[in-house]
Amino acid sequence: MPHFQYIELLLLLLLAPILVGLYIYALSRKKAIVKKIGDPELVSRLTAGYNPAAYLRKFLLVLFACILLILTLANPRSAAGVEQVSRNGIDLMIAIDVSKSMLAQDIKPNRLERAKQVLNRLIDKLGNNRIGIVVFAGKAYLQMPLTGDLSAAKMYISAASTETVPTQGTVIGDALKMCFASFNEKEKKYKAVVLISDGEDHDETAIKTAAQMAASGVIIHTVGIGSPEGAPLMDETTRELKKDNEGNTVISRLNEEELKQVSAASGGQYILFDNTDAVVSKITGELNAMDQRTVTDESLVNYKSYYMYLLALAFLFLLIELFISERRSITMNKSKLKVAAIIIFLLASLPGSAQKENELIKQGNEAYKKSDYNKAATDYSAAAGQNANNPIAQYNLGNALYKSDKKEDAIKAYDQASSQLNNASEKSNALYNKGVVYQNDKKLPECIEAYKEALKLAPDNEDARQNLQKALQQQQQQQQKNNQDKKKQDNNQQKKEKKEEEPKPQPSKLTKQDADNKLKALMQQEKNLQDKLHKVNAAAVNKPEKDW
């Protein structure tokens, strides 16, 4: 069924009554001027060449053109490529704890990141089920209603953070109520909840709510993430360990007992996180063992827009208005003829221009396949010159420039393409390619940022995910190397400074003759000393050794 993409822009249609009011006001002004003249015969002669019907037609054409332009901005469209998808599955609500206790690092890198990793892997294995998402901390929010769009589910999971819910705490009971409200109340089975938390619950309704949900056929599986020993929490403001009111370091510990009671109250399973794949395998096994029903979904593949038809009709009305004269004369104003001719020429030239763009892109593709990247870049650049807003030309130009080792120009082309592309997956690919160029150019911060932007648009872009991990590892290694080099430089500098501080021997000011005389005097003194020692040893008497 046709609908408007930007329905809020339809408020601009309120301008139509204003235009009608202005038209009525203009007519009243004309009548007032006629009355001031007074003489009807004189007025009749003066207005003999005026055609009031033409004035009305011109106004109506302009009014309809304005309305069509507003409808064009709202983008009328209808769903195209609708698929009827039959599947056997269940309805699954995912509840993820995003309280600040989930930032504890007893599980590296922290509990929240590991929880998101588990859920992303789980979603990959649940293709036949509808999935909804609830995030909770001090309050619970429905992040995504039940849907078969798994890529959207992964996007919401990846975006979950402690900033998603402003109120801190952990209210598992509220999260379960939100999940319960998302299910079809008429069904008494085919429903499950996967709740992942550290169990530091700040309300007492969770177990009671779990029992109520079990009575309606909902099974709750809980995943405990953290350690019983716990870990301190970092205060994000002061970057120091968080303290309680008494000045003691806050330790966040996994509350297994709470999570076990919640799952037991609904007939579900409690799973302690120890390994991502092991946890995903256990949850998948439990969900696959449930009764499943056949559901037919309508999956919207694409939309067909109709704005171009409304736009063409609006221009046609304005063009017709240009030809209508308020004077009773068949002679057309020459200036209007020129303007009309220009408009017709531009409208007629549009298909030819588009055809030339496509031909240049086709030639570039053929050159690219033959590895003639310079020729391909020339053709793509020419196509972009015909239409700077052609994202295909810009995207392909970036590829050709990269292959031609023109990295800076390639990045500019990818930026241009990503700003023009509407499809999230295509825009993600452009940003991914931009990241590859930066990575090969050893610009790690820039490539990491490009990969992150690509993953925000398409969380299932595995190439971007893998390259991001490699880039982060390279950055870490580079930082370690830089630290080692800096430490080495500092040590060398310290040694150099220490050496400079040591006293240097002064050059001798003695002549050769003075040095010979001093040497002879020293040798004579040594001879006298040896003679004296010899006499002392000869007079000495042997004494017995000590034996105590």
- Does 115 reside within a domain? yes
pLDDT at 112 over 90: yes
Q: CA nearest 416: which of 427, 401, 402, 406?
A: 427
CA distance 265 to 166: 30
- Does 540 reside within a domain? no
pLDDT at 297 over 70: no
- Does 538 reside within a domain? no
pLDDT of the residue at 381:
85
pLDDT at 202 over 70: no
- Does 506 reside within a domain? no
pLDDT of the residue at 64:
93
Peptide bond into 40 cis (omega under 30): no
Which domain, by its residues, includes 412? Answer: 337-476
- Does 482 reside within a domain? no
pLDDT at 402 over 80: yes
Which CATH number is 125's domain given? 3.40.50.410
pLDDT at 331 over 60: no
CA distance 193 to 182: 11
Q: Do residues 45 and 102 both lie within one domain? A: no
CA distance 55 to 46: 17
Q: How far is CA 36 from CA 23, 30, 50, 55, in A?
A: 20, 10, 18, 21
pLDDT at 407 over 60: yes
CA distance 313 to 310: 5
Q: Do residues 42 and 96 both lie within one domain? A: no
Q: What is the pTM of this model?
A: 0.44
- In degrees and rounded to multiples of 5, residue 489 shows phi and psi of -65, -40
The alpha-carbon radius of gyration of the chain (Å, integer) is 42
pLDDT at 539 over 80: no
Which CATH number is 462's domain given? 1.25.40.10
pLDDT of the residue at 512:
62
Q: Do residues 211 and 175 both lie within one domain? A: yes
pLDDT at 299 over 80: no
- Does 62 reside within a domain? yes
- Does 357 reside within a domain? yes
User: Which helix (H) or strand (E) covers residue 189, if one does?
Assistant: none
pLDDT of the residue at 86:
56
Which of 476, 503, 530 is the C-terminal boundary of a domain? 476
CA distance 430 to 420: 11
CA distance 55 to 50: 9
- Residue with more model confidence, 527 or 104: 104
pLDDT at 375 over 70: yes
Which of 476, 495, 524 is the C-terminal boundary of a domain? 476
Mean pLDDT estimate for the chain: 79
- In degrees and rounded to multiples of 5, residue 83 shows phi and psi of -115, 135
pLDDT of the residue at 540:
38
Reported as a single tens digit per residue, the pLDDT across 12-39 is 999 999 999 998 988 888 778 767 766 6
pLDDT at 548 over 60: no
pLDDT of the residue at 444:
84
pLDDT at 179 over 80: yes
pLDDT at 538 over 50: no
Q: Do residues 319 and 188 both lie within one domain? A: no
Tally of CA atoms within 13 A in the half-sphere of 307 that contains its CB: 14
Q: Do residues 393 and 442 both lie within one domain? A: yes
Reported as a single tens digit per residue, the pLDDT across 280-296 is 999 999 998 888 776 55
* pLDDT-derived band at 80, boundaries 50, 70, 90: low
pLDDT at 547 over 50: no
Long-range CB contact pairs, 81-86, < 8 A, 24+: 81/300, 81/301, 81/302, 82/298, 82/299, 82/300, 82/301, 83/298, 83/299, 83/301, 84/296, 84/297, 84/298, 85/148, 85/296, 85/297, 85/298, 85/299, 86/294, 86/295, 86/296
Reported as a single tens digit per residue, the pLDDT across 496-514 is 766 655 555 545 455 666 6
How many domains does the structure of the chain reveal?
Answer: 3
Q: Do residues 99 and 242 both lie within one domain? A: yes
pLDDT of the residue at 66:
92
Q: Do residues 280 and 378 both lie within one domain? A: no
Q: CA nearest 426: which of 388, 392, 473, 386?
A: 392
When mean pLDDT is compared over 362-371, 375-384, 385-394, the highest value belongs to 375-384
Q: Do residues 130 and 19 both lie within one domain? A: no
Average pLDDT over residues 254-264: 91
Q: Do residues 324 and 346 both lie within one domain? A: no
Average pLDDT over residues 466-471: 80
Q: Do residues 261 and 368 both lie within one domain? A: no
Average pLDDT over residues 151-170: 84
pLDDT at 388 over 60: yes
pLDDT at 300 over 60: no
Q: Do residues 97 and 136 both lie within one domain? A: yes
Q: Do residues 355 and 471 both lie within one domain? A: yes
CA distance 329 to 319: 19
Residue keyed to tokens 């009031």: 52
pLDDT at 372 over 80: yes
- Does 208 reside within a domain? yes
Contact 43, 37 (CB under 8 A): yes
Which of 461, 476, 491 is the C-terminal boundary of a domain? 476
